[in-house]
Amino acid sequence: MSRPTPVSYVPAWDIWVRLFHWALVLGVGAAALTGFLGDARWTLVHVASGLTATGLVLARIVWGVFGPTHARFADFLPRPGAVIAHLSGRDRRHRGHNPLGALMVLALFAAILALAGTGLAGLGGWLRIGPLAADLGTDTGRMALDLHGGVALGVLALVALHVGGVVFESRREGENLARAMVTGRKQARPGDAPVAPARARGGLALGLVAGLGAALGLGGATLSARPAPNLPVAVTDPLTAQECGACHMVYHPSLLPAASWSDLMAGLDAHFGENAWIDAGDAAEIEAWLTAHAAETVDTAPARLFVRTDPAAPATLTETPAWERLHDDLPDGLFARAPIFTRANCAACHADAATGRFSPFAIEIPKETPK
């Protein structure tokens, strides 16, 4: 027989707090991995994990009002005096979050909501999709994404502080706090800070979370359905489609500035190493359509990026600094293999190339096929 243990364990973290905590670890972890290390093809996973983390935080905020004792903000939101007392070690032991832990909870929630806001603004402004696509342009979108990256670094720092704090506090208190977030139970010790027990109102919380989810989903869908201004022309001129498409994919006019199109149409007899001469009337008609819908006329990321051309090759999309930067991590030889064959064959990997949008959600590098 082992000696009876002098400590008794009591429930501290209910199952929803624990599920929330570890699901948030996964969601933030996946978003961080894909955001910091993933290429454009990871954007869908990144956005999905980011939205998941956001949903978790919103649900946790509801649970912070209607959950059981230690789930409630009322249990752990500290007054400034309590933070000072905790820092100077004069306070009693907290069975729920201690004042510094509580500040960490608030900081992480605020940062994750800020990531959601700047992420949606980035989607809307830079990629021109989602609920803010109709309201924002590429200038705002690019700023939002810069901010998003900054806040994300802040979250990394907070997570490091959080883990450090848990390790420090576990040693100081002689109780494994990480394990407590798994088992949900913590030691009850004489002299613990008094606890005001509260009953969870699960039905109400569930209803609120469901209602909030439905409202956000519906609101997001409604906002996303609004037509966004300054997007690439959707219908391709039939003559352009026929003449340009006879030899290669039909490059969207918004991918190059008007001056580049004029330059290109003036040199069709020496067109990227081939003679692509056409009737002068047709050439004029095609040039008019291309320049009328050129990069300067739209507000999309590709147009913003490719409007800066290489002065030595003003009509060569694949020589623009942005094109080279965006593709420089791809292996040598990828472009030469079937069924891609050439850097100029955008549509081989970008399913939406013809629209001029080049969404990161539409990228798929095809498997090599026999030539």
The residues binding other proteins (CB under 8 A) are 247-249, 269-270, 273-279, 339-342, 344-345, 348
Q: Which residues of 148-172 are buried (b: 16+ CB within 10 A; e: fewer)?
A: beebbebbeebbeebeebbeeeeee
Q: Which is nearer to other proteins, 222 or 342 (CB)?
A: 342
Alpha-carbon distance of 9 to 280, in angstroms, equals 88
Alpha-carbon distance of 121 to 116, in angstroms, equals 8
Backbone angles phi, psi at 90, to 5 degrees: -95, -5
Q: Which is nearer to other proteins, 23 or 249 (CB)?
A: 249
Q: Which is nearer to other proteins, 220 or 245 (CB)?
A: 245
CB of 249 to other proteins, least distance (A): 7
CB of 337 to other proteins, least distance (A): 11
Q: Collapsing DSSP states into helix, strand and coil, what is residue 188?
A: strand
Strand runs labelled E in the chain: 8-11, 185-188
State the angle between helix axes of 80-87 and 99-125 in degrees (0 to 180), rounded to the nearest 10: 120
Q: Which is nearer to other proteins, 197 or 333 (CB)?
A: 333
Q: What is the helix (H) or strand (E) element at residue 86, kind and residue range? A: helix 80-87
Q: Collapsing DSSP states into helix, strand and coil, what is residue 334?
A: coil
Q: Where are the alpha helices (DSSP H) in the chain?
A: 15-37, 43-66, 73-76, 80-87, 99-125, 138-173, 177-183, 202-224, 238-245, 258-266, 280-292, 301-306, 321-327
Alpha-carbon distance of 104 to 98, in angstroms, equals 10
CB of 335 to other proteins, least distance (A): 10
CB of 268 to other proteins, least distance (A): 9
Q: Which is nearer to other proteins, 237 or 299 (CB)?
A: 237
Q: Which is nearer to other proteins, 218 or 336 (CB)?
A: 336
Q: Which is nearer to other proteins, 114 or 249 (CB)?
A: 249
CB of 339 to other proteins, least distance (A): 7
CB of 37 to other proteins, least distance (A): 31
CB of 343 to other proteins, least distance (A): 10
Unique residue bearing structure tokens 């342009």: 137
Backbone angles phi, psi at 210, to 5 degrees: -65, -45
CB of 363 to other proteins, least distance (A): 17
Q: Which is nearer to other proteins, 12 or 348 (CB)?
A: 348
Alpha-carbon distance of 224 to 86, in angstroms, equals 47
Backbone angles phi, psi at 188, to 5 degrees: -100, 125
